[in-house]
Structure 1
Amino acid sequence: MRLSVRARLTLVYGGLFVVAGMVLLGVLYALLSNQKPGSAATMVQGSDPAPPGGDVLFRTIVEDTQATTLSTLLQQGGVALLVVSATTIALGWLIAGRLVQPLHQITATARRIAEAPAADRGLHERIALTGPNDEVKQLADTFDLMLARLDQSFDGQRRFIASASHELRTPLTLNRTLLEVALAEEGASPEVRQLGSTLLAINDRHGRLIDGLLLLARSDREVTDRSYVDLADIVDHVAVSDTVKVLADPGEAAVLGDPVLLERLVQNLVENGVRHNVADRGWVRVTTRTRPDGWVELAVANSGPVVPRYEVPGLFEPFHRYGRERLVSPGAGLGLSIVRAVARAHGGDVRADARDEGGLIVTVLLPRAP
């Protein structure tokens, strides 16, 4: 078991005091024990002649007195050293607590930031340690400076994604208009129409990519304006498909959040389950429920190709697509990334598990509405 910094400082303070006290007591004992009884006897008797046997008797008295003094020194000095050492250790514990209190404040702030659902959620918080400009305050100020730069970097990244996505909307809209006008002409050849249809599909795919980036940039921020939403109502609305069988089992699942983002979360999961499925007898199962531990659970399972378990964590990364879907999938590779961002923005999380028969089970956990 490792001792805390406070305990180690107390042991150092107390240990040094006890060692110093034992050394002092030992030096006093050595000095007193080295006193010669003969010198004291000579000083007392002076020049008068001593009676027969008087010198021996006086020496015996001096030696007994010296032994008694040394014994008293050891006993009472040891008791005094024990009492003072205990008092010193207690004071050292209190002083060490005052010394490490700023470290507790730094640790508590760092823990709150580290335990935030999103990586940039608590970067606005600062330690703001007050006191003398010592090593601990310099550490806290350096930590605050690091947080400020990280917060600025994350905020600049979000602004860049949003600005770039908005700027790209204009040329895509213009391209779509020009292509539709060209395809509307009666004299267009079949080759031109085929080329125009292909370019329209590419244009639409880029539009979905931009919409996904915008939504991802928005959902990365913490949701502050929340309203009452029942995920069961959203499932009833979006859990439909024309290509595979969708089995919905919506139970009461009330949460507080952004209705638009939560609808997009459910819709992305359903569309992901429909898109990555098998051609014949494919199915998607969507269930919602309120768990006894106070969490709301949304689970979307589907049939589909077998996904290796080591590939599952990477599916939540932006632009990640599994296997040959990198080339033929109509999606932008942002569906599950948006799901994770929305879940964490609402104080929840998401996980995926590969089914042995093929397909995935994606489970979203969100805090239950009070």
Structure 2
Amino acid sequence: MTTPTLTTPTLRSRLTLVYGTLFFVAGLTLLGVTYVLFNQQLEQKTVSIIVRGGGPGSLDTDTGSLDGDKAMNWMKQQQSLLRGAATTSLLTQGAIALVVVGGAASGVGWLVAGRVLTPLRQVTETARRIAAAPVAERGLHERIALNGPADEVKELADTFDTMVERLDHSFDGQRRFVANASHELRTPLTLNRALVELAMHRRTASADVKQLGESLLEINARHERLISGLLLLARAEHEIGDRSPVDLADVVSHVVAQATAEATESKITLHEAAGPAPTSGDALLLERLVHNLVENGIRHNIDDGTGWVRAVSRIAYDGRVEVEVSNTGPAVPPYEIPTLFKPFRRLGPERVVTAKSAGLGLSIVRSIALAHGGEVSARPREGGGLIVTATLPSQSPAHH
């Protein structure tokens, strides 16, 4: 959402400029019409001169009166002086009055425009808060609820509220469906695993039955991971309400220690650079965030024994904290990176039923980061692999 800058006048300023310009144009028009009518009145005015005695061009010294052509010239001079003085007075005082009243009108127009646009500002501020919400669930609960006459602005606000309400119901329904479906699917999968294990461990079980059982257990385990990922994704979509202090350095060290066995089995070397990175949130979800990043780096790597994964925690230059996980691996096209954060998106041979990954790892990372008021970004590493960075708000040690 864009905000007005110094080079872009606000709507209130433009309305005030329109009000002031219209007033000045109307005032100048009125002043011009008054000037024209005033001149017409002066030209139509007749002056009666009483000529007393004497010949043409003579002056009666006793009475000081003029006669003939001199009287007419004197009358024209007086008329010219009167017109000049009246015109100057009209234009000068009229211009001063126009400027004063025009300035007052512009000020009144500014106040009126501000009052008229107050409901629109309320709509804009509400929309900005919803857009800035770290997760949709919290932001979509907010409404404008504009009070006022049933005009165009009220209609706009009510329409916006209706749209947000429908989106809120849609998001809630989707999350409930995922959570309920995941819970309902867990029970039969647990039962299936128990039955398969029971059949495999019978004394009379043949080698073919045991091999089939191992395949079924592998598929069953993948489905369990998928359902667990869906539950975690549904949980991470909600904003974290109960926060506690967490140092991501401890989380990185713990996750790297846990992932050492899998990395060794995959012939991947783990590197750790756990610097202080204090934040606040749900410790289990933050552990899952780092775990998914490290696990993703191990599983999507090279298998010639030279692969590595590096996990780093630190304080970023802007004061926030970061967890960065980089790894060797196949080259990833830049245009593929945005799709990696979408659910069930995998690259290359991972798009198969028996794949170890459920395609939710980075989606869960992104959801957890957003729920904590942070963000996740990724970029290709030169030579192959990825560099994924999760950025979260910081918490000073004084808050611990």
Q: State if a TM-score over 0.5 links the two structures.
A: yes
Higher deviation after alignment, 272-281 or 215-224: 272-281
| 2:281 is equivalent to residue 257 of structure 1 | yes
Q: 1:213 to 1:60 in 2, by over 3 A?
A: same
2:356 to 330, 336, 349: 330
User: Which residue is 2:17 aligned to?
Assistant: 11
2:105 to 88, 105, 115: 88
Q: 1:238 to 1:64 in 2, by over 3 A?
A: closer
Offset, 1:205: 0.6
Letter paired with 1:306: A
User: Which residue is 1:271 aligned to?
Assistant: 295
TM-score by length of 2: 0.85
- Output aligned runs, 1:1-40, within 5 Å: 1-35=7-41, 37=43, 39-40=45-46
Instruction: Count residues in correspondence.
Output: 365
- Output aligned runs, 1:146-165, within 5 Å: 146-165=163-182
User: Which residue is 2:394 aligned to?
Assistant: 368
What are the Cα deviations for residues 189-235 of structure 1, in whole angstroms up to 9, with x where unaligned?
Answer: 32222222211111111111000000000001100011122222222
Letter paired with 2:166: R
Letter paired with 2:329: G
Letter paired with 2:31: L
- Output aligned runs, 1:210-359, within 5 Å: 210-239=227-256, 240-241=260-261, 242-243=264-265, 244-279=268-303, 280-327=305-352, 329-359=355-385
Offset, 1:35: 2.5
Distance across 2 between alignment mates of 1:146 and 1:165: 29
Offset, 1:55: 6.0
Work out the percentage of aligned pairs sharing the same amino acid.
55
Distance across 2 between alignment mates of 1:354 and 1:119: 29
Q: Is the 8 A contact 1:297 1:365 kept in 2?
A: yes
Distance across 2 between alignment mates of 1:331 and 1:184: 27
What are the Cα deviations for residues 31-51 of structure 1, in whole angstroms up to 9, with x where unaligned?
Answer: 121226465336x97xxxx98
Letter paired with 1:137: K
| 2:96 is equivalent to residue 79 of structure 1 | yes
Distance across 1 between alignment mates of 2:72 and 2:252: 113
Higher deviation after alignment, 90-99 or 310-319: 90-99
Q: Is the 8 A contact 2:196 2:213 kept in 1?
A: yes
TM-score by length of 1: 0.92
Letter paired with 1:162: A
Q: Is the 8 A contact 1:205 1:332 kept in 2?
A: yes
Q: Is the 8 A contact 2:327 2:386 kept in 1?
A: yes
Offset, 1:85: 1.1
Letter paired with 1:11: L
Higher deviation after alignment, 236-245 or 112-121: 112-121
1:128 to 145, 149, 153: 145
Letter paired with 1:148: E
Distance across 2 between alignment mates of 1:89 and 1:326: 66
Offset, 1:121: 3.9
Distance across 1 between alignment mates of 2:377 and 2:366: 9
Offset, 1:71: 2.8
Distance across 2 between alignment mates of 1:214 and 1:288: 27
| 2:221 is equivalent to residue 197 of structure 1 | no
**Structure 1: unaligned runs, 5 residues or longer:** none
Q: Is the 8 A contact 2:42 2:83 kept in 1?
A: no
1:140 to 152, 157, 170: 157
